[in-house]
Each structure stands twice: as C-alpha cells, then as structure tokens.
Amino acid sequence: MKKNNSLIMRRKAWNQVFLALSVAAAAFGILWLALILYELLSKGLGGLNMKVFTEITPAGNDEGGLANAIVGTLEITSLAVVLGTPVGLLAGTYLAEYGRHSWLANLIRFVNDILLSTPSILVGLFIWQIVVYNVPDSPIERTCVAILGPYCFLGHFSGIAGSFALAMIVIPVVVRTTENMLLLVPNGLREAAAALGAPRSNVIVTVTWRAARAGIVTGGLLAIARISGETAPLMFTVLGQNNWATDMTHEVAALPLIIYNFANSPYDSQHALAWAGALLITATVLTLSVVARLMQPKRS
Amino acid sequence: MADTALAEQMTASLSQRAAAVRKGGSRDTVFHGFTLAAALLVLAIFIGLLGALIIGAMPAFKTFGWGFFTTSIWNPEAEKFGAVAPVYGTVISALIAMVIAVPVGIGIAIFLTEICPRALRRPIGIAVELLAGIPSIIYGIWGLFVFAPWFQEHIQSWVIDHLDGVPVLQDLFAGPPYGIGLFTAGFILSIMVLPFIAAVTRDVFETVPAMQKEAAYGLGCTTWEVMWRVVLPFARSGVVGGSMLALGRALGETMAVTFVIGNDHHIHESLFATATTISATIANEFAEAYGDLYHAALIELGLILFFITFLVLATAQLMLRALERRAGS
C-alpha cells in the first residue's frame, strides 16, 4: 500500500512538473510575441504623423514621409493580385472539379504545396533572370520595344517585374484555398444543377463558385496579406528608389524595400520612418487576416 | 392553322435547345481548357524556377565544379567562390530555431488544449494564428534595433563570462559579444516560426479522438501521461510534418536573418560569432554583384537552397498527406 502511494505521488509530481513546463513554454513564447508587438506599436506610433502620408522619402537625415513608397506598394500589390488571382482560381477549380485524383492533379497539388513554402528570395532570383537580366539585346526585348516603345518593361528593374514575383506567391495561396473551399461544397448541389441540364461550366460558375464565394474571397485576402510585407522578392526586381515614381514600367519605391534600406541607414529620422512603415504593414496584414477569418465559412 | 403554328414553335424550340446544348458543350470545353491551362501554369512556374536556377548557376558550376560545395573561400575580387560558409550558417541557424521553437510550440499547444481556461482558449489561439502572418521583415528590424542590443548587454557577456572554463560550451559560446550573430539569427527565426508550429500542433492535437483521451483518464492517467502516451503518439506525424514545414521556412527565411547575422563568410566555432546564410548572402550581395561569375555563384547558392528546402518540404508534405488520408478514412 505504501509503495503504491509513493508511485501515485511520484506520477502526480511529474505531472505537475511537466504541466508547469508547458505553462512556462507558453508564457515564454507569448511573452516574446507580445514584446515584438509592443515595441512595434510604441516605436511605430512615435514615427507616425501626417507627413508619413503626404511627403516622399527623405534623403539623409532630413524630414520626410513614405507617400511614394505607400503608392508604389499599392501599385505593385494590386497588379500582382490582378495577375495571380485568376490563375489561382482557375487552377484551384481544375484540381477540385476536373482533376480530382488523376495523377496530373496530384502532381500539381504536390508542386503547388512546395511553391507555397518555397523561399521567396528564389522567386526574386527567377523573375530577375527571365524579366530583368537575360533580356537586354535579345530578340524578345527588341520586339517588346518595337511594340511598347518606352513602355517596354523588359530588360531593366521595374514595378511590373515585382508584381510578377509577387503574383508567383499569390498563385499557390489562392490555389490551395480555392480547392479546399470548393471541396467543402456538397456534391448534391452539383448533381442537382447537372440534373436540371446545366452544362458543367455553368454548374461550376453559377453554383459551386457561388456556394464557395466567401471562402474564395478569404483566400484572396490571405494572399494579399501574405504579399504585402514580402521584401526579398522585390529586391532584385523592383530595386526601389526614393523619388516620386508611379510608372510601373520602371523602378518604383516600395514600402518593404524602404524599411530595409532605412533600417540599415545611420540616420535616426530614417529609423523612425522604418518603424512607422513596419507598423503600417503589420496593421494592414493583421486587418486583412482578421477580415479573412471573419468571412471564413465554418468547417463541417 | 393553330396546329401548324404549334408545330413550328416546337421545331424551333427543339433546334434552339439543340443549339443551347451545343453552345453549352463548347463553352464547357473552353472553360475546362482554361482551368487546365492555369493548373499547368503552376507546374510550369515550378519547372521554370528550377530551370532558371540551373541555367543561371551553370557558369559557376563549370568554373568551380564540385569544389564549390567543399570550399569556404568567398572572395569576389579574386572570383573565388565556395558554398560551405553560407550552407553551414543556413543549417545551423535553422537548427537553433528548431531546438527552441519545437518544444516551446508543443508546450503552447499543450497549454491551449489542456490547461488554458476555456474562456481564454479561443482568444489566445486566434492571437497565435494571427502572429503567424506577420511579415518577416518586422522580426528583422525588431531583432536589429531591440533584441540584439539588449541581448548583447544583458545576456551575452554574462553567458560568455560564466561558461569560461566549461569544456565544449566555452568554445560554443565564446568571443566578443557583438549582439548580432548566428545565435541571434537562430533565436529570431525561432520566434518567427513559433506561432506556426503552435497552431499546427494544436490543430493536430484536436484531431485526437476524445474517446481515447477519456479512456486513458478513466484508467487513472495524469494529464501529462495522457499527453505523453496518448495524444503525442497519435499526433506524432502531424507534429513532425508541421515542424518540417517550419524548418523549411526557417531555412529559406531572408529578412528575419539578414539584419542580424553579420554577413561574414568565415566559419567560427562560436555560435555568438557572426556568420551568413544562403538567403542573407544573396540579399546582401546580389544587387551589387559585378560580373557574370559572381551572379552565377549567388544563383548556385540559390539552387542549393532550393534543393535543401525541397527535400524538407516534400518530406513534410508526404507526412501530412498520410495524416489527412488517415483522418479522412
């Protein structure tokens, strides 16, 4: 009896020890994350004022804002979403509605999930090679210049190249959420529409897409959240600059690049702007994630 | 009269209907074609990415051959390049991150599923998931401006002083306290992947059938014994798969590391010393690289990173797929 008691005591003691360790781990992790958010808020709010939205990025230790970078980021991000979302939507539709379990669909699903976590700097290297670097003096560039004239965006750094890179990150996100959301639509709905004589494309567009609409929009929002802070893919595609430049066929200013450059600069005013920009990006990302979460349909 | 009108109407509607069916059929083909093309584009992006990296790396591979993978010299002026130092930094910083983040992440998951008061579970869980979406550049500037100076002043010198004379450890944690360096990079990476690991692990823990846990409690198990002997074995492949996904992220992460690693192509024994990773090297040097060979060497580094992360991510996918199948059946 006594021995039994000591065994129970020992088990209870170990239980206490490990549960305490779990609580400590949780406290440790949450503490750091809270600290980051706190520093971001205090330093970011310190640097945030009206000038941030109305003036362009300063050179040296002058005062200034982030207006050109905000506009540039909005341009690059919007174009990336416009380019990437339709492709992702259609590819996700293929996986969920046509391909299902064919070998091709399985292969594409696998490749898509790899692309979802591929280091984003490699995406930058890829776009740099096909849009920026290998192009000068090639027939492709000559054709491009012949057709588009000064608007040709090949052969040099440009906002459009950055959008291509970000679109490559948007596509896998949208594919994944679209497929998941379409698979949640009950088959009965598809069968009912087909029994009424609707062609397959009609069933998909007017029934399945509509039923999964909230989920698909969620995917789009998550994709925007994902790319709005991406820095590495823009480094060798947009390059970035400090002037007013809204022409997407050439270098434009981008908020993440400005944060990167200003954080590495020796000037306090640029540090303050870097924190303000970081706060803006984080606020955007968190808002988008919260909206996406509110829209997300409950899983059955 | 009326009969012929009706008959005319019927034949008209029949041909109309046939036309509608034909139109629907061809629209089907077009729509199917578009979705298939989009799906193939995903495949093409993947192949293009790999192909472009291979072609871009060719000049460096032709010049250095396999020696690229075994030299640690990185001298752009002399056009001598070797991958050992960045590969070392990439692997070690990611390992430091995993050593810290996996146990802490599992701890958070246990806390959220078993210990946390019910009213706090959802808010804390949602907060952890939202934090997983914060862009990595935020972790980077926090590391540079806040963590590194604090770490340098309060932790690093103390650790260096107190471990002096302890075998092995005195070498691992030696050297002048810079604040930045390999350990700092690994630690910031661990904070970055922590929400991700915690969220995945909690999701997998929640797939454990309540019946199994209750049966174990009914046999008199303590909470810890239920976690260790029932929940963790059941969730093992999910936890490992989720951790591998996090490892893939840590290996390829650029912005959280570049600020705080020091971009130093020498390999030091001490974890407190400066180092470099593949992505940090590319981020720091690519825009200023001169000459085709320099570019090619950096792209070959990228190719190595691609292969490392591909192996890790593919393994993670296969493990999580198996888990999904099991959950589905």
3-state secondary structure of A154: coil
Handedness of CA B38, B43, B44, B48 (dihedral sign): positive
- B163 Cα to chain A: minimum distance (Å): 23
Nearest CA in chain A to B288: A236
Residue in A19, A115, A232 closest to B283 by CB: A232
The yes-or-no verdict on residue B11 having pLDDT over 80 is no
- Mean pLDDT value across residues B59-88: 88
The 10s digit of each residue's pLDDT in B235-245 is 888 899 889 99
Are the beta carbons of A81 and A170 closer than 8 angstroms?
A: yes
Query: What's the confidence (pLDDT) of residue A295?
Result: 80
The yes-or-no verdict on residue A137 having pLDDT over 80 is no
Name which residue leads in pLDDT, A296 or B274. B274
- What is d(CA A109, CA A97) in angstroms, rounded to the nearest whole number? 13
Name which residue leads in pLDDT, A95 or A55. A95
Name which residue leads in pLDDT, A212 or B1. A212
The 10s digit of each residue's pLDDT in B109-139 is 999 888 888 888 888 888 888 888 889 999 9
Nearest C-alpha neighbor of A286 from the set A232, A215, A221, A214: A221
User: For residue B74, what are the β-bridge partners?
Assistant: B81
- B276 Cα to chain A: minimum distance (Å): 15
CB contact under 8 A, B28 and A15: no
Nearest C-alpha neighbor of A158 from the set A236, A80, A59: A236
Least confident span in A55-59, A195-199, B90-94: A55-59
Least confident span in A102-111, A136-145, B184-193: A136-145
Query: What's the confidence (pLDDT) of residue B47?
Result: 95
The yes-or-no verdict on residue A241 having pLDDT over 90 is no
- Mean pLDDT value across residues B163-167: 78
Residue A179 forms contact with B (CB below 8 Å): no
- Mean pLDDT value across residues B153-157: 84
Are the beta carbons of B36 and A104 closer than 8 angstroms?
A: no
Residue to mutate among B137, B300, B319, with most A CBs inside 10 A, is B137
Residue A102 forms contact with B (CB below 8 Å): no
All residues at 6 or more sequence positions from A135 whose CB lies less than 8 Å from its CB, including other chains? A141, A154, A155
The yes-or-no verdict on residue A257 having pLDDT over 80 is yes
CB contact under 8 A, B130 and A32: no
Per the listing, tokens 């996700």 go with A92
The 10s digit of each residue's pLDDT in A182-236 is 998 999 999 999 899 888 898 999 999 999 998 899 889 989 999 988 999 998 8
Residue in B27, B105, B314 closest to A201 by CB: B27
* ipTM tops 0.85: yes
Residues listed for chain A: 300
Residue A88 forms contact with B (CB below 8 Å): yes
Query: What's the confidence (pLDDT) of residue A300?
Result: 43
Give percent of chain A above pLDDT 70: 96
Q: What is the DSSP letter of A56?
A: P
pTM: 0.89
